Amino acid sequence: MPDPSKDLELLTPAEMGEADRLTIAAGTPGPVLMEAAGLAVADEAARLARSRGRIVVLCGPGNNGGDGFVAARQLAARAYPVSVGLLGSREALAGDAAWAAGRYAGEVLPARQADLEGAACVVDALFGAGLARDIDGEARAVVERINAYRRAGGRVLAVDIPSGIDGATGRVRGVAVEASASVTFFRLKPGHLLEPGRSQCGAIRLADIGIPASVLAQIAPRAFVNAPALWRDALPRLDYRAHKYTRGAALVLSGPAHHTGAARLAARAALRAGAGIVGVASPPDSVAVNAAHLTAVMVHPFSGASGFEALLADPRRRAVALGPGAGVGPETRKLVGAALTHPADGRTIVLDADALTSFSGEADRLATLIGRGGHAVVMTPHEGEFVRLFSAAGGIRADDDKLARARAAAWLTGAVVVLKGSDSVVAAPDGRAAIGWDLPPTLATAGSGDVLTGIVAGLAAKGVAPFEAAAAAVWLHGAAARAFGPGLISEDLPDTLPKVLARL
């Protein structure tokens, strides 16, 4: 995987094209970039082949195919047996791709005739990240042959991104190559991280081909890999003047007596994330059960919306989390409305689970409440909650990709939106977005999302801005799961956080 400590920017295919254009305009010829890209492909193909066996390079009609021709020439120069197949004709190649093909002296067969059986490695250089339409016809048949070879135990290296994966969205365009590994250039695209693209890429190598980082200032990308370098500087450090309230106070809403566990998970996570003092707001019937289970977390009884507002009156409570186990219905709606509109400068409201489902189909109403109160808001829906909340929202299409939907929801509501999953997207109303790339499947366990809500609240209580708090929480959540390993249950996550924070 690329080094996320420095290569944070994600470029759409159009932005990557602009990076190429700016580099060429500054004096680096296109063939120089293609030569460097092909060399990186050859290096990775040789590593993946693990032997001096035959390497098959399948080239497409554009610059992705040009990279493949360079790689084939480089591999042949190293005495690898190389077979090249071309989708289309050599006469139809143009520009740098024609230049690269002209420098390859070996035989070039039609791609459909290339023999994959027994190959040590197949290089997929058919189509790059900017594929504009679904793969069909002869190209589809070639992709299906590559996948049959892969499923039989073969090794497949994709150039840039597996052919058929949309570099901007991660979606499959008709059919897509299932790669063992991918080698891409300069910066990752969103499609490398968004599913199903992420799963199809295999191990990803990011190669330096001579594009200077200075071009990023002109491109101004707004999407990033979610990694500590993105938000680490926003995390406050303790000093000798700290006390529990300067570290931040958070309040978590509890549900009724038979639904209290989710709120306690969130509260403990907020405390472990660094808040100095955390309380659970408990309706009358849940006070006893919460008090029996909590020690470091305080229990604050309340009754109804007016009682909850009395708890909100304490200005030291810089973060309030609502939703985990709260119950779906009018009462939760009232409590959410109270939290969103009660005056408190600099407070962050975190909404999850039942707090979101209680507004199903009424995202516009929730957005109005958010706008009226003026608080910073973070929402943490999973796909089901997202669909329920935004089912009637204009401007959010169900068939849009995950990044587009998260951004549209953030713009509509004025909240930072965490659209959860193995490729969690954190989107801010100003268009910034961060995509998770290393979130382990062990997080798919009951209560995991409640812990994430608590981590966001704990960081927000410490004064971390909403986008950074949400992005950091997503990463910490995944890092804690990785640190614990197999057998993880949600209760393990808060208590593993200190190890992760210490490494930061």
The pLDDT score that the predictor gives to residue 504 is 87
The pLDDT score that the predictor gives to residue 239 is 87
The closest alpha carbon to 190, from 218, 159, 165, belongs to 165
Is the distance from CB of 203 to CB of 412 less than 8 angstroms?
no
pLDDT at residue 4 is higher than 70? no
Q: What is the DSSP string of 117-184?
A: TT-SEEEEES--TT--S---HHHHHHHHHHHHHHHTT--EEEESS-TTB-TTT--BSSS----SEEEE
Domain 9-221, second-level architecture: 3-Layer(aba) Sandwich (3.40)
Backbone angles phi, psi at 468, to 5 degrees: -65, -40
Non-local CB neighbours of 253 within 8 Å, separated by 6+ positions: 263, 280, 281, 308, 320, 321, 322, 323, 326, 335, 339, 355
> What is the third-level CATH fold of 228-235+242-503?
UDP-N-acetylmuramoyl-L-alanine:D-glutamate ligase (3.40.1190)
Q: How many CB atoms are closer than 10 A to CB 17?
A: 15
246 or 107, higher pLDDT: 107
CA distance 166 to 133: 9
pLDDT at residue 69 is higher than 80? yes
| Domains 9-221 and 228-235+242-503 are alike in CATH topology | no
At 180-238, the pLDDT tens digits run: 999 999 999 999 999 999 999 999 999 999 999 999 999 999 999 999 999 999 999 88
pTM of the model: 0.96
pLDDT at residue 320 is higher than 70? yes
pLDDT at residue 421 is higher than 60? yes
Give residue limits of the domains in the chain.
9-221, 228-235+242-503
The pLDDT score that the predictor gives to residue 181 is 98
**How many residues does the structure list for the chain?**
504
